[in-house]
Amino acid sequence: MRNRIAVLMAVGLLVAACGSGEDSVETVTSATSGSGGTQVDCGTDGSECESTTTTTPTPEPIMGYAWTFEGTNTLGFPDRGPEVATATLTLMFEDGQDVNELHPRYVVTEGTVTYEPVSTEGAGCTYTDPGQTFKVTPDMSPASPEGDQAQSVLIFDTTVTPITYRGILYTQGPDDTVVQDCTAIDPDTYGVNTVNYGAYTTWLLINPSDSRPITEDGLIIDTLELPSEYGYTLDFTITRVK
């Protein structure tokens, strides 16, 4: 996927002088930012110097580099009954941000979405959806959208206590095919039709004004009842990858 975790390594400068015949003890330590340093101890008898190297971990973003999203979208159609979709998505620290960014942004890099099979009746018709599972690629949940698409992104606000989160996460996968059988109404007028639905699913939808707090242990477990003419519910857990 597009995001990459960059690890910067630097080599410390070692300067050491050993005595030759005269008693001497000299310790030289040199370090560059993020690399630690090397300590050299020279013996008093002219023997070889022994060195030890310590490494300081490269700083990481305030909220880490990666989070895992696991969610369920339950959408109730008046004529088809509920449709259930589940997703597991990997969210990575978006490229181009400073490691100390106070409002870090995380974008979808990979994942899996499953639409559960549906067979229900409504308005005199029978609807059968075999369901599907597909792998998520970055273009299905764009961090750099085209046209009027919204950016699919999770954003934290670390300037407040407790830390809050917001954003929109969605996927746009292959069409979902539904067989519509309305012959029970009037077989001479209605028949069996195949209808393709765009596999667009919202997994998270929280505006900045509605930002929600994360738990004390940094875990996000939440449920959203989103208003719409159909009404759908989002249940999700977002966990930081250690």
List the chain domain ranges: 10-56, 66-240
* pLDDT above 60: residue 135: yes
- Tell me, yes or no, if the pTM score tops 0.85: no
* pLDDT above 60: residue 229: no
Q: How confident is the model over 209-234, as a mean pLDDT?
A: 78
* pLDDT above 80: residue 72: yes
CA–chain centroid gap for 221, Å, is 15
Percent of the chain past pLDDT 90, that is, above it, reads 40
First to last CA, the chain: 19
* pLDDT above 50: residue 32: no
* Mean pLDDT taken over the chain: 77
Question: Max CA-CA distance within the chain?
Answer: 111
* pLDDT above 70: residue 50: no
Q: Which two tokens stand for residue 241?
A: 């990858």
Check: CB of residue 90 under 8 Å from CB of residue 119: no
Helices (H) and strands (E) in the chain, counts: 0, 15
Query: Is pLDDT larger for residue 16 or for residue 56?
Result: 56
Whether a cis peptide bond, with omega within 30° of 0, leads into 162 is yes
Question: How do beta strands 132-136 and 105-115 pair?
Answer: antiparallel
Q: Band of the pLDDT at 186, cuts 50, 70, 90?
A: confident
DSSP letter (8 states) at residue 138: G
* pLDDT above 90: residue 209: yes
List CB contacts of 74: < 8 A, sequence separation 6 or more.
82, 83, 84, 232, 233, 235
pLDDT computed for residue 34 by the predictor: 41
pLDDT computed for residue 127 by the predictor: 84
pLDDT computed for residue 212 by the predictor: 93
Q: How confident is the model over 85-111, as a mean pLDDT?
A: 96
Out of 25-29, 36-40, 88-92, 184-188, least confident range: 25-29
Percent of the chain past pLDDT 70, that is, above it, reads 71
The string of DSSP letters for 96-133 reads T--TT-SS-EEEEEEEEEEEPPEEEEETTEEEEE--EE
Q: How confident is the model over 118-130, as a mean pLDDT?
A: 83
In the chain, the amino acid numbered 232 is Y
Spatial distance between the Cα atoms of 109 and 140, rounded to a whole number of angstroms: 10
Out of 43-57, 80-94, 150-164, 198-212, least confident range: 43-57
Sign, CA dihedral 193-199-204-207, equals negative
